[in-house]
Amino acid sequence: MKLNLASGVHPLDGFANLDPTIDGWTFESGLGDYPGGSVEGITISHALMYVALEDWPFVFSEFARVLEPGGVIRITEDATDDRRSPRYGGFDDAVTLTSSVLVRVYLESAGLHGHTCAPWFTHFKDGSLIQRWHGEPPKVFHVEGIKP
């Protein structure tokens, strides 16, 4: 089982695609439909910036809960802390300024091993978690969490 969270206009074949605008799912509602340790991979692209930082501990705990041992979550977000990024300082109606450091802190707080990755590198068994809809560094960053 693989999840594409906040899939929007980019559903992925072979994934359960969940999105607030399509099926009403939200990060804040959690992943209660998925038992603990039942997901091998999760991909998220440009969505956590729309989740309030105060909700991140629960959201990241849900990622960790559903991942199987050795499972990988890949997060691609705007680099709002990099002065070279056109998204520096935020984008549109984003509510959280995202950075690779911040995402890694929350991954590691949830018990996952965090890694900053190059655009085409993944710790997952194949390239299916990689999304590049909105560019490459320095505009965006790619971080993965691995469940021990």
- 6 contacts: CB under 8 Å, gap ≥ 6: 18, 19, 20, 27, 44, 45, 46, 47, 50
Strand ranges inside 38-131, DSSP E: 39-45, 67-78, 113-117
- In the chain, the amino acid numbered 53 is L
pLDDT for 61 equals 98
| CATH assignment of the domain containing 73 | 3.40.50.150
Decide: helix, strand or coil at residue 4.
Answer: strand
Buried b (16+ CB within 10 A) or exposed e, 78-96: bbbbbeebebbeebeebeb
- What domain range is 128 assigned to? 2-146
pLDDT for 94 equals 86
pLDDT for 86 equals 75
Stretches where the chain sits below pLDDT 70 are none
Number of domains in the chain: 1
Q: Residues 80-121: pLDDT tens digits?
A: 888 888 788 787 788 999 999 999 999 999 999 999 999 999
Q: CB-based burial of residue 69 (10 Å sphere; 0-12 exposed, 13-18 middle, 19+ buried)?
A: exposed
- Look up the pTM and report it: 0.94
Dihedral angle sign, alpha carbons of residues 40, 122, 11, 78:
positive
